[in-house]
Copies of this chain bind each other. A is one copy, B any other.
């Protein structure tokens, strides 16, 4: 049985690992990059606290001891369901079972100016691009004479008060406090403003009321200007236009205001439901297909416990990978009973800064805040990171950063300039 898994995020990787060395099953794992990205810590890569390699794990290393998992570094271009094959950027691959674990992509709500001018943060490369932008801005600020232009360089706007937006603005506020004034003694950092804009009435809206309140308080304590009930209409690279007509001048806007499912070509539009997700049954089987499954953020599954779908979290993706692996092994053995997916919610958490975090645990219903929550957050993330060596390096970096109050990886590589990427894309278009 040939199982093709598209995407090596939390769900796809878990599934491939569970199917590794299972008799009678051949696995092809496809991803655009040759490493698994530990997304929860991307914001620390962006703020120079961690190295990209610390939270990226080469896929080939994961499967060095596997006899049946092959890796392909390619992009899924199209599914030809009638012929049971996929077309990738490099070849065509036939499948007996296809598993889509492609996750989500940043939702710019079809606003091309936002795509061009703002910075998303969904991948390691995007985190490095943001790091490049942040550091280059201050280098540029040293040369600018016009006060209005200087202010634009010193303002950072983060759109979206979910975990990404909260964690990133907290980390930026700590950079402003502990690192930047030492690095740029010529600049006046009392003029640096960090705005967090959230459309709903509260930060961390998907967490408990207490977590929302705590995170809001922590952010303001760190000096972040939090605006709830605030929607962005547009951004042209210089000014953020809010829905109420007001304007925030800023050269850096980070867009963490929403995601949408990364649906590949070749599937019927009727399968796509809210959040651009694909509708699946309780065994993650794509509606109307017997040999295509969808797991993780891209899957939309309604269950009695979750009548409006599951939250888009790593833990859901991982658990779906585990359940699907069991079902595929059963399928290969021609068994007829399959497990329904049943999400076990262990809790959610977010960190704002040093000793400042929030943790919600559902059963028993508990809320932690402050140092203890921060400690839980760190320990759990350390445990979840793939590989003893990465764990060691992340831990070492954290210990170092904690005691020195220093994010020390402030390297600017022009290769990660987003502006350059755009001109590149232009050339590629021209050439093709």
User: A55-96 vs B: 1/0 string, CB under 8 Å?
Assistant: 010101100100000101100000000000000001100000
Q: Are A411 and B53 in contact (CB under 8 A)?
A: yes
Closest chain B residue to A129, Cβ basis: B415
A182 contacts the other chain (CB 8 A): yes
CB distance from A415 to the nearest CB of B (A): 4
Name the CB-closest residue of B to A415: B415
Cα A410 to Cα B72 with chains together (Å):
15
A213 at the interface (CB under 8 A from B): no
| In the bound complex, CA of A431 to CA of B51 (Å) | 33
Closest B residue, CB atoms, query A56: B411
A35 touches B411 (CB 8 A): yes
Q: Which residue of B lies closest to A54 (CB)?
A: B51
How many residues does chain A have at the interface if contact means C-beta atoms less than 8 Å apart?
A: 51
Q: Do A135 and B34 have beta carbons less than 8 Å apart?
A: yes
User: Which residues from B are CB-within-8-Å of A139?
Assistant: 34, 73
Q: Which residues of B contact A415 (CB under 8 A)?
A: 125, 128, 413, 415-416, 421
0/1 string, A382-413, CB within 8 A of B gives 1: 00000101001100100010000010111111
Most buried by B among A33, A387, A409, A412: A409
B427 touches A60 (CB 8 A): no
B-chain residues with CB within 8 Å of residue A361 when the two chains form the complex: none
Which chain B residue lies CB-closest to A392?
A: B396
Task: Specify which of A60, A72, A125, A396 lies most central, judged by the most chain B CB atoms within 10 Å of its CB.
Answer: A60
0/1 per residue, A9-31, Cβ < 8 Å to B? 00000000000000000000000
Residue in B72, B143, B414, B426 whose CB lies within 8 Å of A142: B72
A416 to B139, CA, bound (A): 23
Check: A428 CB closer than 8 A to any chain B CB.
yes
Do residues B91 and A408 form an inter-chain contact, with CB atoms below 8 A?
A: no
The reply to whether B427 and A58 form a contact with Cβ atoms under 8 Å apart is: no
- The answer to the question of A256 belonging to the interface, with a C-beta cut-off of 8 Å to chain B, is no
A135 to B71, CA, bound (A): 13
Contact (Cβ within 8 A) A91 B33: no
Query: How far apart sit A415 and B129, CA to CA, in the bound complex (Å)?
Result: 10
In Å, the complex CA distance between A53 and B35 comes to 18
Could you tell me which residues of chain A, from 94 to 143, have a CB within 8 Å of some CB in chain B? Answer: 124-125, 128, 135, 139, 142-143
Contact B143 A90 (CB under 8 A): yes
Contact B413 A389 (CB under 8 A): no
- Cβ of A6 within 8 Å of any chain B Cβ, yes or no, is no
In the assembled complex, A184 has its CB within 8 A of some CB on chain B: yes
Minimum CB–CB distance from A92 to chain B (whole Å) comes to 11
Interface flag for A186 (CB, 8 Å) = yes
For the complex formed, measure the closest distance between the CB of A196 and the CB atoms of chain B, giving whole angstroms. 26
Q: Are A64 and B411 in contact (CB under 8 A)?
A: no
Closest to A66 in B: B185
- Among B33, B53, B72, B427, the residue within 8 A (CB) of A426 is B427
In whole angstroms, how far apart are the Cα atoms of A52 and B91 in the complex?
33
Query: Pick the contact of A427 from B35, B61, B427 — CB < 8 Å?
Result: B427
